[in-house]
Chains A and B, each alone.
Chain A
Amino acid sequence: MSDRRHLDRLRRRIRAIEGGAREDGAVLALPSALAPVAGALPWGGLPLAHLHQVVGDPLDPAEAATGPAAALGFTALLAARLAASKGAAVLWCVRRGSVDDTLYAPGLARLGLPPDRLMIARAADDAEVLWAMEEGLRCPALAAVIGQARDADLTAGRRLQLAAEAGGVTGFLLAAGGRAPGGKGAGTTSVAATTRWRVVPAPSAPVGWPGIGPARWSVTLERCRGGLPAHWTLEWNDETGDLGMAAPLRDGSLDAPERRRA
């Protein structure tokens, strides 16, 4: 017993050293429907004042056409939950004229971001997106900052992380649509964020009528400081706005290994 306590303490110390994160930092509690997700996170929820990376599948040609859609929905839901719990607004930074610069506010309102909780900054290039994100993260009056930049690297990630810690604002680096000038797919680079999620669309469950049913997303926690990777299929009900675990399909196809690309 005492060995175990000792081990726990050591683990916490290592985590503190690794992450520079506050030991008892604030955490966004996830709804009970997402208990398995919360369980996989060592904080028991999404840690606030950290940088999180959410990517889609940059090699998917469909995503090149539409921009990351499922990843956007997942990020917006998390940010909306943050905004609601803090009673503050979310700043969304995009590159002017890119596929990301087509945010449609009535649709975002369905994801929980009403107009009074949303501000959009349109930057000229990736560097300016990162600058705007940093400014936003240093502003304690915001709940979260979402940014879509293509060429964020380790340095940029570190800067954003420091800004998030300084301002106490949670940052989301969301994959950007289109290819970076260097030819690398957007969102493939590591930015050393606290968590890294890959969210891609999943086939929705057939409904009993000729309809489209709730959206399903395949969510992979690829990287998590102090935690292990994990994968779930989540279902977003756009009528109620609830995100929950998807019920497995009858043929068990949900548990089939995901198509992965190295």
Chain B
Amino acid sequence: MPGMPLTDARAVFPALVVAEADPAADARALEALAEWCVRYTPWTAVDDWPAPGGGAGLFLDITGCAHLFGGEAALLRDLRDRLRGFGFSVRLGLADTKGAAWAAARFMAAGADEDDDIALLPEGSQRQLLMGLPVESLRLPPAVVESLKRLGVRRVADLDALPRAPLAARLGREVGKRLDQALGRVPEPFTPRAAVEPWRARIHFAEPIARTEDVEAATLTLCRDHHPRLEREGLGARRLVLELFRVDGTVIRRTAGTSRPARDPAHLARLFKEGLDDIDAGFGIESMALTLTALDPLGAEQTGFTRGAGTAPDAAERAAETARLLDRLRTRLGEANVLRPAPRESHVPEAAVTTVEAAGGGAPEAWPMLSPRPSRLLPRPEALEPVEPAAHAGAPPAVFRWRRRAWRLAVAEGPERIGPEWWRTPGGIPAPSVVRDYWRAGDEAGRRLWLFRKGSDWFVQGVFP
């Protein structure tokens, strides 16, 4: 019950769960809900009138939209069921005016049982239905309601019967205005939420274009169209979708991404350059659109202030330049094929390298300097075929075949024992058969390989320079 002190409530129901009010979060949730309601009508707004007894409200102007949902009653039922599904308790009112709908939702939809929480005022009937409601239903300030009650005015009908001039002189113009608004005598403006302007630029051609150069020029124009707004809002594009609408109705889509937010039109246009070489324009392209699907904040940057050819670029400039290069490489080669290696804490050679997105945040730290490591590591160790055993037990075979060639070792150094990481494997301490003994071995010509023995088998894993 609204207004009840917490101690009283606890006395009635000791197991009460208490939650602090968080008006900011409530407001955000309501805003999000208003945005969700755009599925019914583009005109939605948050009710900013302080509701009696808590509870928040939304206004939806469904003029011209109800038939899409099978009529007003069906729309209301659909809306109620979905909102209930979200876990809200809902009361809905529908009327010819905003004020009447507000009153209907708050004072006529009781919410007791099925379909009781919907009050649908048929067209033209709101006058007689409103007359029976209390004066609170007119969205009047509490002080005004109090004064009216002291005067014996309890129902809307009582208020409507009073002469206007003395009423306005005594209680202000608000009372008459609200009454007229509820009854539809004066219009009440409806201020919908500001729609989020999509990040989309379009260009239409008087004559269809087909040449790659023209498409590239149009792409640059589209990038330029986005630039002022990006700059104003301090944002940079991360993902872009370019759509080319062909005369025959098909759409060609090209996507591009940037490794860090960018808004330089020339750079953004260059991202599409590679993808536009092979487009099939058919009978021509009649319009193009560029949509930015992901954006990130980007501070103001100074452009066009060309430095002299001789001066060295500073670190920030260099980072920006590198990022632009990586964007171009990534657009053509694919995201996964432009990498920067980074160390990983593991002493298993294959697992010691991970790759980070090149030009990602901070520079990765260096590897711990272990014993020598090869400059090439085979993705999978390859078994070798011993031909002649080693002079000493445990050393790699003196002659062996690998990759269809005989290798005659002259020198070998080792072993460096590398075991599996038992703390990562669930089985505990591993069997000796999975421990690897690594050897650096060189043949007579000075070629150097990285070999290891596992059990009694020998493998090649790397190549030293």
Chain A interface (Cβ < 8 Å from any Cβ of B):
61-62, 65-67, 69-70, 72-74, 76, 88-89, 91, 96, 99, 102-111, 114-116, 118-124, 128, 131-132, 135-136, 139-142, 200-204, 206, 210-213, 215-217, 236, 238-239
Residue of B nearest to A73 (CB): B465
Kindly list chain A residues whose C-beta atoms are within 8 Å of the C-beta of B375. Answer: 69, 72-73, 76, 103-104, 107-108, 110-111
Asked if B440 is at the interface of the complex by the 8 Å CB criterion, the answer is yes
Structural contact, A65 and B405, CB atoms closer than 8 A: yes
Asked if B379 is at the interface of the complex by the 8 Å CB criterion, the answer is yes
Structural contact, A120 and B339, CB atoms closer than 8 A: yes
Complex-state Cα separation, A89 to B353, whole angstroms:
18
Residue of B nearest to A236 (CB): B465
Residue of A nearest to B463 (CB): A66
Shortest CB-to-CB span from A15 to chain B, Å, is 22
Shortest CB-to-CB span from B381 to chain A, Å, is 12
Structural contact, B322 and A212, CB atoms closer than 8 A: no
Asked if B398 is at the interface of the complex by the 8 Å CB criterion, the answer is no
Asked if B342 is at the interface of the complex by the 8 Å CB criterion, the answer is yes
Write 13 A-B pairs (CB below 8 A) sorted by A numbering. Answer: A66-B403, A69-B464, A72-B375, A72-B376, A103-B376, A107-B464, A110-B375, A119-B338, A119-B339, A140-B318, A203-B445, A211-B411, A211-B413
Complex-state Cα separation, A110 to B379, whole angstroms:
20
Structural contact, A69 and B465, CB atoms closer than 8 A: yes
Q: Answer whether A62 and B405 are a contact pair too, CB < 8 Å, given A73-B465, A110-B373, A203-B445.
A: yes
Asked if B18 is at the interface of the complex by the 8 Å CB criterion, the answer is no
Structural contact, B448 and A201, CB atoms closer than 8 A: yes
Given A103-B376, A119-B358, A141-B321, 11 more A-B residue pairs with CB atoms under 8 Å apart are: A62-B407, A76-B375, A89-B322, A105-B342, A106-B343, A107-B372, A120-B341, A123-B337, A201-B445, A211-B411, A236-B465
Asked if B266 is at the interface of the complex by the 8 Å CB criterion, the answer is no
Using a CB-CB cutoff of 8 Å, which residues 341-384 of chain B contact chain A?
341-343, 349, 352-353, 358-359, 363-367, 369-370, 372-379
Asked if B159 is at the interface of the complex by the 8 Å CB criterion, the answer is no
Complex-state Cα separation, A108 to B462, whole angstroms:
12
- Interface of A (DSSP majority class): mixed
Q: Which one of A67, A141, A216 has the highest number of Cβ atoms from chain B below 10 Å of its Cβ?
A: A141
Shortest CB-to-CB span from B42 to chain A, Å, is 45
Complex-state Cα separation, A142 to B358, whole angstroms:
13
Structural contact, B448 and A212, CB atoms closer than 8 A: yes
Shortest CB-to-CB span from B361 to chain A, Å, is 11
**Contact indicator per residue, chain B 56-81, by CB within 8 Å of chain A (1) or not (0):** 00000000000000000000000000
| Number of chain B residues whose Cβ lies closer than 8 Å to a Cβ of chain A | 63
Complex-state Cα separation, A212 to B405, whole angstroms:
22
Residue of B nearest to A63 (CB): B447
The total number of A-B Cβ pairs within 8 Å is 190
Structural contact, B447 and A66, CB atoms closer than 8 A: yes
Kindly list chain A residues whose C-beta atoms are within 8 Å of the C-beta of B462. Answer: 104, 107
Kindly list chain B residues whose C-beta atoms are within 8 Å of the C-beta of A204. Answer: 411, 442, 446
> B313, B332, B412, B449: which contacts A128 (Cβ < 8 A)?
B332
Complex-state Cα separation, A61 to B440, whole angstroms:
20
Kindly list chain B residues whose C-beta atoms are within 8 Å of the C-beta of A140. Answer: 313, 318, 321
Shortest CB-to-CB span from B5 to chain A, Å, is 63
Chain B interface (Cβ < 8 Å from any Cβ of A):
313, 317-319, 321-322, 324-326, 328-329, 332-333, 337-343, 349, 352-353, 358-359, 363-367, 369-370, 372-379, 402-405, 407, 410-413, 440-449, 462-465
Residue of B nearest to A102 (CB): B376
Residue of B nearest to A117 (CB): B363
Kindly list chain B residues whose C-beta atoms are within 8 Å of the C-beta of A114. Answer: 366-367
Complex-state Cα separation, A212 to B440, whole angstroms:
7
Shortest CB-to-CB span from B167 to chain A, Å, is 76
Structural contact, A215 and B464, CB atoms closer than 8 A: yes
Complex-state Cα separation, A70 to B353, whole angstroms:
23
Kindly list chain A residues whose C-beta atoms are within 8 Å of the C-beta of B463. Answer: 66-67, 69
Residue of B nearest to A71 (CB): B465
Complex-state Cα separation, A121 to B341, whole angstroms:
11
Query: Top 6 A-B pairs ranked by shortest CB distance?
Result: A73-B465, A116-B363, A105-B341, A201-B446, A104-B377, A141-B321
Kindly list chain A residues whose C-beta atoms are within 8 Å of the C-beta of B447. Answer: 62, 66, 69, 201
Shortest CB-to-CB span from A124 to chain B, Å, is 7
Complex-state Cα separation, A67 to B449, whole angstroms:
12
Structural contact, A115 and B405, CB atoms closer than 8 A: no
Structural contact, A215 and B405, CB atoms closer than 8 A: no
Structural contact, A118 and B341, CB atoms closer than 8 A: yes
Q: Which one of B325, B364, B445, B462 has the highest number of Cβ atoms from chain A below 10 Å of its Cβ?
A: B325
Q: Answer whether A120 and B340 are a contact pair too, CB < 8 Å, given A106-B352, A203-B410.
A: yes
Complex-state Cα separation, A215 to B440, whole angstroms:
11
Shortest CB-to-CB span from B344 to chain A, Å, is 10
Q: Answer whether A104 and B376 are a contact pair too, CB < 8 Å, given A141-B321, A212-B413.
A: yes
Structural contact, A213 and B411, CB atoms closer than 8 A: yes
Residue of B nearest to A106 (CB): B373
Complex-state Cα separation, A132 to B274, whole angstroms:
12
Kindly list chain A residues whose C-beta atoms are within 8 Å of the C-beta of B441. Answer: 212
Kindly list chain A residues whose C-beta atoms are within 8 Å of the C-beta of B412. Answer: 212
Structural contact, B367 and A109, CB atoms closer than 8 A: yes
Residue of B nearest to A209 (CB): B413
Kindly list chain A residues whose C-beta atoms are within 8 Å of the C-beta of B377. Answer: 102, 104, 107
Structural contact, A215 and B370, CB atoms closer than 8 A: no
Complex-state Cα separation, A86 to B412, whole angstroms:
38
Complex-state Cα separation, A142 to B342, whole angstroms:
19
Q: Answer whether A118 and B376 are a contact pair too, CB < 8 Å, given A106-B352, A141-B319, A210-B413.
A: no
